[in-house]
Amino acid sequence: MSNPYAQAKDRQFWSRAMSWPAAGQVDPVSHAMRIGLDEPVATLGSCFAQHIARHLANSGGHYLVTEAAPPSMPEAQARARQYGVFSARFGNVYTVR
């Protein structure tokens, strides 16, 4: 029985993709990928994830928010309580398993 990685390309392994090419020859983009404005995008992380979320929301993208603030809550209070900062109110996440 073979393992699920037996047919994987070198670019799919960090050690091969990053250490085998000469300096300046690393290209992490293996194919063009486009995310349409109607496709839901969720964020999790820290500052970078917050910037992505704001950009998606401000540019008409479908930023997925699973925990909306109650309608009666003022906008400033909702932001202070982390509503809409990430896709859910899990706060900053620095290490993801």
The answer, yes or no, to whether residue 27 has pLDDT greater than 80, is no
User: What is the arithmetic mean of pLDDT over 11-25?
Assistant: 80
Distinct helix (H) and strand (E) counts, the chain? 3, 2
Q: Do the Cβ atoms of 60 and 37 come closer than 8 Å? A: yes
Residue whose tokens read 């109650």 = 70
Under a CB-based contact definition with an 8 Å cutoff, are residues 81 and 69 in contact? yes
Instruction: Please tell me the pTM assigned to this model.
Output: 0.58
Residue 16 binned pLDDT confidence (cut-offs 50, 70, 90): confident
| pLDDT of amino acid 97 | 56
What is the pLDDT, as a whole number, of residue 1? 57
Q: What is the mean pLDDT of the chain?
A: 85
CB 65 within 8 A of CB 84: yes
Residue 28 has pLDDT above 80, yes or no: no
Compute how many other C-beta atoms are within 10 angstroms of the C-beta atom of residue 86. 25
Q: How far apart are CA 75 and CA 19, in angstroms?
A: 48
Distance between CA 1 and CA 92 in Å, rounded? Answer: 41
Mean pLDDT of 59-84: 92
- d(CA 74, CA 67) in angstroms, rounded, equals 15
Q: Kindly state the average pLDDT of the residues 71-80.
A: 93
pLDDT at 25 over 70: yes
